């Protein structure tokens, strides 16, 4: 058994989320002190965390700047290079597994300091499904921001930003202000993010219709549809109506085209919540956005792939300044709400930060149930077996680095690591 620490988030812009809430820390302490009476949770002081140090202290944690006693350090976002402590096990989102250029030097420093990095993004069960994520809250806040943006653009209503709400209950009370005309809203994706977006739209009492109804019918009320990969992709040598093999699409994305333009001519507000593979076709092109029948006026790009599946996403926006316009003719950014011909974009890339208390609570629950037993007892197979934790390789599969090198599972990052 080891001591664990909740580190202070050091990335800019600041992140108020935590891996474990004070109540969850008490639960962990109560459970694991029965196994090891010396087990402790250390908490680094932080002026921005959404829970106070006093709350952690009351839960039985030790507040201390020096966390060197802990072998396992829990964060959320990337740890700044100067703050990495040698020879520790870290859990955080490293944003390196897609070879993101801006974090290559972070991965190099992690290896140099002999850090074992367990990346939340690749923690999976035995079937390959992720066991921990903030995706639901990205979808919740993204859809809320999308509707907020649409109301603001057309002067229909004003909503308090999610960031200004104490928690999700207060944000939910804002739904009563939403008064939309008979517009159509498209949500892409089928995972946690899209499910979170649908929670909000249904909470606003917006009717869901099928993709076929969405394309072929007109409605006297606001409606939305959920679009999965098979709803707007087809194999190049076939037709739109051909049978769609989802696994083949995942493995051979280059062989497919998009006919999302069919939906773009019917859509007023797009909520983009689908994971995008760079080898997949884009939803639509810059040229298609110039066509007279391209109807979309507001895009809530939750995925926030810069110049990825949605060409108007030139950059990520911020919680403080969440909107910008895209001029379709000049293909450039413009001041938000500056011209009715523009498309207004909301592309905040850290949406769960706007509801940090709720997002942290859900994340911590998954951490306790799906990760901590495997992490704290990874060398104690008898404990795992006795307590029905059968997936003994869960942590090993998520180790990006160990012993000053990449692990075998992430050898594909070698050229990225070496700058080739």
| C-alpha to C-alpha distance for 138 and 219, rounded to whole angstroms | 29
β-pair type (343-346, 298-301): parallel
* Distance separating alpha carbons of residues 288 and 393, to the nearest angstrom: 47
Alpha helices in 283-337 (DSSP H): 286-289
Burial class (CB in 10 A: 0-12, 13-18, 19+), 11: middle
Provide the 10 A C-beta neighbour count for residue 117: 25
Token digits for 141?
């806040």
Mean pLDDT of 303-315: 89
Give percent of the chain above pLDDT 90.
84
Give the integer Cα–Cα distance in Å for 187 and 209.
11
The rounded mean pLDDT for the chain is 94
How high is the pLDDT of residue 349? 87
Tell me the pLDDT tens digit for each residue of 50-95: 999 999 999 999 999 999 999 999 999 999 999 999 999 999 999 9
What is the pLDDT averaged over residues 166-170?
A: 93
- CATH number corresponding to 3-132+356-418: 3.40.50.720
Do the domains 3-132+356-418 and 134-354 sit in the same CATH topology, yes or no?
yes
Which stretches of 116-213 are assigned E, i.e. beta strand?
116-119, 184-188, 207-208
Q: Strands (DSSP E) along 273-409, which ranges?
A: 298-301, 323-327, 332-334, 343-346, 399-402, 405-406
Query: Going by CATH, does the domain composed of 134-354 fall within 3.40.50.720?
Result: yes
Q: How far apart are the first and last CA of the chain?
A: 40
pLDDT bucket at 340, cuts 50 / 70 / 90: very high
Average pLDDT over residues 398-407: 97
**308 CB neighbour count, 10 Å cutoff:** 17
Average pLDDT of the residues in 322-335? 96
- Cβ neighbors of 246 (< 8 A, separation 6 or more) are 229, 230
Handedness of CA 240, 246, 247, 251 (dihedral sign): positive
Average pLDDT estimate for 110-127:
96
Segments making up each domain of the chain, as ranges: 3-132+356-418, 134-354
Residues 356, 164, 337: CA angle, nearest 5 degrees: 115
How much is the pLDDT for 290?
A: 96
pTM of the model: 0.85
What pairs with residue 216 in β-bridges? none
Residue with tokens 């075998």: 408
Of the listed ranges 62-66, 133-137, 236-240, the least confidently predicted one is 236-240
Token pair 């909000």 in the structure block, residue: 200
What the block records as the tokens of 38 is: 């010396």
Higher-confidence position of 206 and 392: 206
pLDDT band at 39 (very low <50, low <70, confident <90, very high): very high
SS3 (DSSP) at 41: strand
pLDDT at 1 over 80: no
pLDDT band at 33 (very low <50, low <70, confident <90, very high): confident
pLDDT of residue 390: 85
Mean pLDDT of 154-181: 96
383 has a pLDDT exceeding 90: no
Whether pLDDT at 379 is above 90: no
């Amino acid at each position: 058994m080891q001591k664990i620490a909740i580190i202070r988030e050091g990335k800019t812009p600041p992140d108020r989320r935590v891996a474990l809430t004070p109540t969850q820390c008490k639960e962990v302490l109560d459970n694991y002190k029965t196994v090891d009476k010396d087990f402790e949770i250390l908490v680094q002081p932080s002026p921005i965390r959404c829970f106070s140090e006093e709350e952690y202290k009351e839960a039985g944690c030790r507040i201390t700047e020096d966390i060197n006693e802990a072998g396992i350090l829990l964060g959320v976002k990337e740890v700044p290079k100067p703050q990495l402590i040698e020879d520790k096990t870290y859990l955080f989102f490293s944003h390196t597994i897609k070879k993101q250029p801006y974090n290559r030097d972070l991965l190099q420093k992690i290896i140099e300091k002999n850090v074992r990095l367990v990346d939340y993004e690749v923690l999976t069960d035995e079937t390959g499904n992720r066991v921990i994520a903030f995706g639901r809250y990205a979808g919740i806040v993204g859809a809320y921001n999308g509707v907020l943006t649409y109301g603001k653009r057309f002067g229909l209503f004003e909503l308090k930003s999610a960031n200004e709400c104490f928690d999700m209950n207060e944000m939910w009370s804002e739904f009563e202000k939403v008064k939309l005309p008979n517009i159509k809203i498209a949500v892409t994706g089928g995972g946690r993010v899209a499910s979170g977006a649908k929670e909000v739209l249904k909470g606003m009492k917006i009717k869901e219709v099928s993709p076929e109804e969405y394309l072929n019918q007109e409605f006297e009320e606001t409606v939305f549809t959920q679009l999965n990969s098979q709803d707007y992709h087809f194999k190049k040598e076939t037709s739109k109506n051909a049978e769609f093999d989802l696994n083949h699409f995942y493995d051979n994305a280059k062989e497919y085209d998009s006919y999302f333009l069919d939906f773009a001519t019917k859509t007023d507000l797009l909520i983009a919540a689908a994971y995008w593979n760079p080898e997949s076709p884009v939803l639509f092109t810059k040229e298609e956005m110039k066509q007279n029948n391209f109807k979309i006026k507001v895009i809530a790009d939750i995925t926030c792939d810069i110049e990825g599946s949605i060409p108007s996403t030139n950059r990520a926006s911020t919680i403080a300044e969440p909107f910008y316009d895209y001029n379709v003719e000049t293909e450039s950014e413009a001041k938000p709400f500056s011209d009715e011909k523009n498309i207004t974009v909301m592309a905040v890339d850290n949406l769960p930060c706007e509801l940090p208390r709720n997002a942290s609570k859900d994340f911590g629950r998954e951490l306790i149930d799906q990760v901590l037993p495997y992490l704290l007892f990874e060398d104690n197979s008898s404990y795992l077996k006795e307590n029905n934790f059968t997936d003994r390789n869960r942590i090993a599969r998520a180790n990006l680095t160990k012993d000053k090198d990449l692990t075998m599972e992430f050898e594909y990052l070698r050229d990225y690591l070496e700058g080739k």
